[in-house]
Structure 1
Amino acid sequence: MTPVTEPLDPAVAVNDYDSFAEEYAAENENSLLNAYIERPAMLDLAGDVSGRRILDAGCGSGALTARLRERGAIVTGIDASAGMLAVARRRLGDDADLRVADLREPLPFGDDEFDDVIASLVLHYLEDWGPTLAELRRLIKPGGRLIASVNHPFVEWLSEDPRPVYRDTTSYTDLWTFGGKQYPLTFWRRPLHAMTGAFTDAGFRLSVISEPKTAPDAPEPFNGISFMCFVVEVPRSAA
């Protein structure tokens, strides 16, 4: 998936995953960045998940949900796109716990309901992480984890001309090509200190910050900057 800098058609909805769910799922399944960098990194960070209750927040077409279930986790998947969840249900079966839910709104779960939350490449769609992180923390048991991945904060700063101001939190929209058609996606870039600050402000404790490498079985090498991953924990007791 390569962004293309072109004028955007104002009649085309931005971040409308329902309009390209099938095409996106096909691309995501085996792409270098998703299948050989981000997804293996998230699974490594999750570690032994057997028996753990996990919320896959922004589960998309269910690729990560499937891998977590194979490892013995009890997974609930949520996504704002009903189209993406339809693809996920075909993959996971009718018994899969999949629900339409928007991470910018209160979520339909009780306090301390999950051992872990996985947020794979979803937070960078949000302008304000604060309310979302506070809500996710509410759902995680004491001692549980939020495992999140985002676009690396240096990606656009190093590649764009002129460079954006690194310390600012700003949005940008690119055209992405799926199935031979182009669709606009809007992301929010923010510096690393804004990311870590948002986690700690929400009451999480930073455990791991990583920059994943390409998996050894990748079909081609990739030495560029791609993603940043975090593991943050809910303290077992108030400190």
Structure 2
Amino acid sequence: MTTSDYDRFANAYSAENESNLFNAYYERPEMLRLAGDVRGRRILDAGCGSGPLSAALRAKGAVVTGFDASAAMVDLARQRLGEDADVHVADLSAPLPFADAEFDDVVASLVLHYLEDWSGPLAELRRVLKPGGRLILSVIHPAIYAIAYPKADYFALTKYSEDYVMDGQTVWLTYWHRPLHAIADAFAAAGFRIATISEPPPSPDTPAELLPPDMNSGSFMCFLFFVLESA
């Protein structure tokens, strides 16, 4: 699956993203917490989807530009953000249509794990960041792969697919697993310094019915979050 395959189920994915545990009450709140005070900051939302994180950052005072490889997702983002919103169809695996040092921050929400090669995308994200700018990102926690596929080689770069039901529609998503040391090595090779690693609990306002019934207080593992600083 390529990212543009989201065109086929953009509406279903967007509807699921609005209120589910993983996006609405776990991933998005943590991305916003890590971003902190963004008033007046120019932020690029890389892989913006239908725009929920862009909307939340804009509501906090940021000046947001977004892009996604899926034209259908960009259309949904424009519906959410307004027809004059600065959103583009662009592919992170290709040169981006933005100037050098154009942004104070980049957010990449659950994007990189779709890509086999991180070197080009990370180089482009660093290029468009101002010196000292931040790349705030989330990926599937690499330990999840080891738990879900205990017989697989955790240390190998591995392509795998999983099915999900979104708004009553079954869809397949394809990811690239890489071990934690490979993630850190990719960041360093691109000229980033890891400032923060986060493994948060769900948001305190998560409805009880969304939480796993056997979940211990505060214990949860799904995504891994980083704040990187460009040199």
Following superposition, the deviation at residue 224 of structure 1 comes to: 3.2
Q: Please give the TM-score of this superposition, normalised by the length of structure 1.
A: 0.90
Match of 2:124 in 1: 135
Please tell me whether the aligned partners of residues 79 and 100 of structure 1 are also in contact (alpha carbons under 8 angstroms): yes
2:192 to 204, 212, 224: 204
Q: Which runs of 5+ in 2 are unaligned?
A: none
Which residue among 167, 190, 196 is the counterpart of 2:155? 167
Give the 5 Å matches for 1:54-73: 54-73=43-62
Matched AA of 1:181: Q
Q: Percent identity?
A: 59
Within a 5 Å distance, the mapping from 1:1-239 to structure 2 comes to 15=3, 16-160=5-149, 162-220=150-208, 221=211, 223-235=219-231
Distance 2:33 2:163 in 1: 31
Amino acid in structure 1 at the alignment position of 2:222? S
Q: Are 1:203 and 1:234, in contact at CA under 8 Å, matched by a contact in 2?
A: yes
SS of match in other structure, 2:44: strand
CA distance in structure 1 between the partners assigned to 2:169 and 2:205 by the alignment? 29
Q: Is the 8 A contact 1:21 1:84 kept in 2?
A: yes
CA distance in 1, matches of 2:29, 2:138: 12
Amino acid at match of 1:231: V
Asked if structure 2 preserves the Cα contact closer than 8 Å seen for 1:14 and 1:184, the reply is no
- How many pairs are equivalent? 222
- Kindly indicate whether the alpha-carbon contact (under 8 Å) linking 1:78 and 1:101 is maintained by their aligned counterparts in 2: yes
| CA 1:69–1:34: 2 relative to 1, 3 Å | same
Is there any run of 5+ residues in structure 1 with no aligned partner, and where? 1-12
Cα displacement string for residues 69-122 of structure 1 (whole angstroms, at most 9, x for unaligned residues): 001100000000010111111111111101000000000011100000000000
Q: Distance in 2 between matches of 1:192 and 1:230?
A: 12
1:159 CA drift (Å): 1.8
In 2: Cα distance, 1:30 partner to 1:144 partner: 31
d(CA) in 2 for partners of 1:144, 1:54? 10
CA distance in 1 between partners of 2:50 and 2:95 (Å) = 22
* AA aligned opposite 1:105: A
Write the letter of the residue equivalent to 1:137.
Answer: R
Cα distance in structure 2, aligned partners of 1:84 and 1:138 = 25
